[in-house]
Structure 1
């Protein structure tokens, strides 16, 4: 039996959708559906019940899921033990866009300098998505925001960096007062669907500032580039230019206090790749500390 088909089956159950499972597995929906048909032929019973665009396990599917989860976990452990020669470092890592467009490339460079044979696959996502993938074993670790909920005891968290809100403005406006700019210049708003954008919105409301909004964007890198071109100003977490010092953008301290957000790394305590994850975490801590210094 193709164990990869069992992994696909588990992703289909967790997502409740063939199309969503295909997106997570980087396959076409037709390929996922074909894998499910092969499994059903092998076991000789229907495993999934389809209702429109959603799917749910049959009773047989429930029984298979219970055994498949433990089997896949044991298989991952065996692969790690067999392949471990003391020098290899192979990981699947999730990261938010902020980390991917900021410190993560520097961290990865440090890892490969120390471990030239390292192989690390990276996928991006929202913090909630990354936590779910780590929790269910689809990622070895994730570098993301600390969640608003209490972490399960099965997960381990290491803080890496704290970021407060700052005002991003063109370098030539560095002499101007932050609140005056927010009242008079166009605002490039950080997406309010994201935690950092919600924090920025709360700051503006508490300060009694009703800005003239020009854009609302989910990418801090894009916001920083627009600010550098003089298109407007932005209230954003202190990451948008921290890792790109060549941009002609200043990060000005806001007059009123704002809540910091904490980035860190999360992984399963019982992960078979715990030693490799610790190596990545050590490099991440060092890069963040050097940058802060």
Structure 2
């Protein structure tokens, strides 16, 4: 069985379309169809069924998907282990949105130079969802907020940033006392169920402040835009640039003892992709205080 044909089949199933799979692979739809047909001949069963321009796996195809993903990853790991010179392999990495825009672009530019043969798949998501995918090995690693509990011993953690809470306010409030603004202005709350949002709860309780809440969401960029439009104030971590273009937005510092959101990389200890993950860690840098 040719692993390239198996990988093509898995991509076709994931895309649900020969044309879309072809774009992802950089080949023609006819070449994709030929690879799938060759795989079907190899296993002696029909693996996909076509309905117009869409395709979906047959029962045999579904069974192959479950085992095929493991085979493709094992082949990738083998190539990585025996390769000479430039590292080769594949990493599936998740990241929260602020890391996707603020941390990863510069790091990946360096990674492309040091490991041009590395194939990277990026998956956005919330910290709890990404953490669960790392635990289930659906992702090799993820850049996320540290969980509000001790990590399982099977997982490793490397801090990348510690981001202090700051108060976002409209430019007309620049120079005001942040605590007074929290008590008097409409409050946009960083979702209290999110791991970063729990730090906001901690700070408010410690400061004995009951804000005038009226919007709660887990979307930091959107909160910045709302504050810029004069909808209220918000407590958020000082995430890395770029930020939304908000000419009326100001960031007011809190006291030095205010909580900090720790962002880092989490992965399984003893993974066969440890060498590739170390390359990623190297370009992500060290803790910024």
Normalised TM-score (structure 1)? 0.68
C-alpha distance after superposition, 1:192-222 (max 9, x if no partner): 2212222213322443333223422211111
**How well do the aligned residues superpose, as a CA RMSD in angstroms?**
3.9
Partner Cα separation in structure 2 for residue 117 and residue 68 of structure 1: 22
Partner of 2:176: 176
C-alpha distance after superposition, 1:142-188 (max 9, x if no partner): 11122234333333221111122221113342211111111222212
Structure 2 residue 60 is matched with structure 1 residue 38: yes
Alignment of 1:76-225 (within 5 A): 76-81=76-81, 86-88=86-88, 90-225=90-225
Secondary structure at the counterpart of residue 272 of structure 2: coil
Secondary structure at the counterpart of residue 235 of structure 2: strand
Partner of 1:270: 270
Secondary structure at the counterpart of residue 195 of structure 1: coil
Structure 2 unaligned runs (5+)?
18-48, 51-55
Check 1:72–1:217 CA distance in 2 against 1; reply closer, same or farther (3 A cut): same
Normalised TM-score (structure 2)? 0.69
Structure 1 unaligned runs (5+)?
9-21, 43-64
Q: Is the 8 A contact 2:96 2:127 kept in 1?
A: yes
Q: Is the 8 A contact 1:163 1:238 kept in 2?
A: yes
Check 1:285–1:232 CA distance in 2 against 1; reply closer, same or farther (3 A cut): same
How many aligned residue pairs are there? 250
Partner of 1:281: 281
Q: Is the 8 A contact 2:80 2:88 kept in 1?
A: no
Partner Cα separation in structure 2 for residue 143 and residue 169 of structure 1: 28
Partner Cα separation in structure 1 for residue 63 and residue 243 of structure 2: 54
Partner Cα separation in structure 1 for residue 165 and residue 200 of structure 2: 7
